[in-house]
């Protein structure tokens, strides 16, 4: 092969030309590598941008869902527009009732007696006191012949009436007596007063406390109510009474705590309460913790009870202190403050299916998907099984759960595990699935123990009254006010769990507790006092 004519014949020149070409080729290769790296960087940046857009879409969806949830919480119950519509509907319904009554009454009078149908109405409560009023004719004898009346029978009709509550003064008189023979003197002991040197009786103290903590009427509003009765009671006086009752009831609440924590299984939850910060005009968020013992769903004989405790914040040390002597199963949410309790080994964690279901339901309300629909349907099946065995002995409950619930739970876990990779890891659906799978061992604890419930509803029900009260009193005045609230909520919620009127119960307790032996104060717990009646 002949060399091109343009190439030099000098060997040195040829070597120089080869080196120049090699350098140029190497430069092109480096340029190509740089272009290739730039292209790969561009592709990586493009993929990152696409992923970022997907993540942004998931984040937008998550934020929209959270915003919708917060709007429901903020406006769902207190919307003025919605409340106005409800009020209008109630007025329209009331007007319809009135118009119907006006149309029916003439129609009834025009109908023959044989065609009239007896109205179906609910019987009046048997436990209410009856006051019999007998109505006799004005004429004491027959106006025609003067003969005496003879009773042939009687017509009886009942009317439900309201007798307004009233204040009264009970004057205790203790005569001083002396013997006419030996001049010995005798006088009855002074009756017990709930509060030393106080002139409020047990009934009034019970009414003030129940009005404040059960009916959510702040003390300043109660003072205005008593003014209408012609009795002036300062807000400070009412507050002193509530403080005195709190001190009186402290031993009883301690006995209640012993009863609650002697259970093998407890339900617990906490709820926020705003507390006033002195001097700033602002509030900070404190907590009321509830611990509920309720063995009725598994046919337990122990009385149901609730014990509340106040804390100025939500640090984990508070439940850890409350439960330091407890051994058994604790049914709670996934709050990290309980982890140290489970780590001790004496307390077994049981989670709440209502919490797991709620996360899917919140998504389903605004954006139903096949995943949320399937999860809610399977969880509903678990609850239908529980409804059929509520009130049965633990052994029967466990047997039914092993046969009917275990297959559903096993299939649900496998299905959730399959669905998790199909959704974005930052989506709300992934959060709901992840919560359920992370809590799976605790969620399935109830399947192997007939005494454990499927959810923590017992504790959640006990704090509903507190949530209602927050809308009325707005905030607690101090940490001491929180401790007083915990005392009152403990006894009132326990009384309600046992089907006892809280005010009647407190009235009986306050009438005797000031001089009651401390070592027998457990006799005054609601179920024990009811047994003595």
Q: How many CB atoms lie within 10 A of CB 242?
A: 19
Distance (Å, whole) CA 359 – CA 218: 35
DSSP 313: S
pLDDT above 80 for 90? no
pLDDT digits (tens, 9 = 90+) for 110-159: 555 555 565 566 788 888 888 898 888 888 888 888 888 888 888 888 88
pLDDT for 49: 65
Distance (Å, whole) CA 126 – CA 453: 35
Nearest Cα residue to 484 out of 243, 216, 200, 210 = 243
Q: How confident is the model at residue 79 (pLDDT cuts 50, 70, 90)?
A: very low
Phi-psi region of 108 (alpha: psi -120 to 50; beta: other; left: phi over 0): alpha
DSSP characters over 399-459:
HHIIIIIHHHHHHHHHHHHHHGGGS-TTSHHHHHHHHHHHTHHHHTGGGG-TTS-SS-HHH
pLDDT above 60 for 237? yes
pLDDT for 2: 47
Distance (Å, whole) CA 265 – CA 295: 8
CA geometry: angle at 513 spanning 510 and 518, to 5°? 155
What are the two backbone dihedrals, phi and then psi, of residue 349, each rounded to the nearest 5 degrees?
-85, 135
E strands present in 72-204: 177-178, 185-186
pLDDT for 260: 97
pLDDT for 412: 97
pLDDT digits (tens, 9 = 90+) for 405-421: 999 999 999 999 999 99
Averaged confidence pLDDT in the chain: 85
The lowest-confidence range among 161-170, 264-273, 383-392, 441-450 is 161-170
- Mean pLDDT value of segment 204-227: 92
Distance (Å, whole) CA 266 – CA 260: 8
DSSP characters over 373-388:
HHHHHHHHHHHHHHHH
pLDDT digits (tens, 9 = 90+) for 178-214: 988 887 899 898 888 888 888 899 999 999 999 999 9
DSSP characters over 128-156:
S---------S-SS-TTT-PPP-------
Distance (Å, whole) CA 157 – CA 155: 7
Tokens of 247: 């001190």
Cα dihedral: 93, 98, 102, 107 (round 10): 50
Tokens of 464: 């509903």
What are the two backbone dihedrals, phi and then psi, of residue 291, each rounded to the nearest 5 degrees?
-130, 115
pLDDT for 159: 82
Distance (Å, whole) CA 412 – CA 378: 7
pLDDT for 56: 62
* Residue 301 or residue 112, greater confidence: 301
Q: Are 442 and 341 in contact (CB under 8 A)?
A: no
């Amino acid at each position: 092969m002949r060399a091109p004519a343009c190439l030099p014949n000098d060997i040195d020149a040829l070597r120089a030309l080869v080196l120049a070409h090699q350098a140029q080729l190497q430069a092109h290769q480096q340029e190509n590598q740089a272009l290739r790296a730039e292209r790969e960087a561009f592709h990586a940046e493009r993929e990152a941008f696409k992923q970022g857009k997907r993540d942004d879409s998931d984040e937008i969806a998550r934020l929209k869902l959270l915003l919708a949830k917060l709007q429901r919480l903020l406006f769902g119950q207190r919307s003025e527009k919605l409340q106005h519509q409800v009020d209008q509907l109630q007025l329209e319904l009331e007007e319809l009732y009135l118009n119907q009554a006006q149309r029916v009454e003439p129609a009834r009078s025009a109908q023959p007696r044989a065609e009239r149908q007896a109205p179906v109405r609910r019987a009046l409560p048997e436990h209410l006191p009856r006051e019999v009023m007998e109505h006799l004719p004005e004429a004491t004898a027959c106006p025609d012949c003067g003969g005496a009346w003879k009773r042939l029978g009687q017509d009886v009709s009942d009317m439900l009436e309201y007798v307004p509550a009233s204040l009264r003064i009970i004057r205790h008189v203790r005569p001083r007596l002396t013997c006419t023979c030996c001049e010995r003197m005798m006088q009855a002991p002074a009756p017990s007063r709930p509060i030393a040197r106080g002139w409020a009786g047990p009934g009034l103290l019970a009414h003030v406390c129940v009005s404040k903590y059960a009916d959510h009427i702040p003390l300043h509003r109660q003072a205005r109510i008593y003014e209408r009765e012609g009795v002036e009671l300062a807000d400070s006086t009412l507050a002193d009474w509530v403080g005195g009752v709190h001190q009186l009831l402290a031993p009883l609440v301690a006995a209640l705590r012993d009863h609650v924590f002697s259970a093998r299984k407890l339900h617990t939850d906490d709820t926020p309460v705003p507390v006033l910060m002195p001097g700033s005009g602002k509030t900070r968020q404190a907590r009321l913790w509830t611990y509920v013992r309720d063995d009725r769903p598994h046919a337990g004989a122990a009385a149901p009870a609730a014990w509340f405790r106040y804390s100025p914040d939500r640090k984990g040390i508070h439940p850890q202190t409350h439960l330091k002597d407890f051994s058994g199963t604790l049914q709670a949410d996934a709050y990290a403050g309980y982890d140290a309790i489970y780590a001790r080994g004496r307390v077994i964690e049981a989670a709440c299916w209502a919490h797991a279901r709620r996360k899917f339901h919140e998504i389903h309300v605004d954006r139903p998907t096949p995943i949320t629909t399937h999860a809610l349907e399977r969880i509903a099946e678990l609850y239908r099984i529980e409804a059929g065995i509520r009130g049965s002995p633990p052994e029967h409950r466990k047997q039914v759960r092993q046969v009917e619930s275990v297959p559903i739970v096993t299939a649900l876990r496998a299905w959730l595990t399959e669905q998790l990779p199909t959704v974005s890891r930052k989506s709300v659906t992934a959060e709901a699935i992840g919560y359920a799978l992370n809590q799976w061992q605790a969620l399935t604890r109830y399947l192997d123990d007939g005494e454990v419930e499927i959810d923590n509803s017992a504790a959640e029900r006990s704090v509903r009254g507190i949530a209602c009260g927050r809308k009325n009193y707005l905030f607690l005045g101090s940490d001491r006010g929180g401790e007083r609230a915990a005392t009152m909520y403990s006894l009132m919620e326990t009384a309600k769990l046992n089907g006892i009127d809280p005010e009647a119960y407190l009235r009986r307790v306050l009438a005797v507790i000031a001089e009651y032996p401390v070592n027998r104060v457990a006799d005054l717990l609601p179920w024990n006092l009811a047994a003595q009646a």
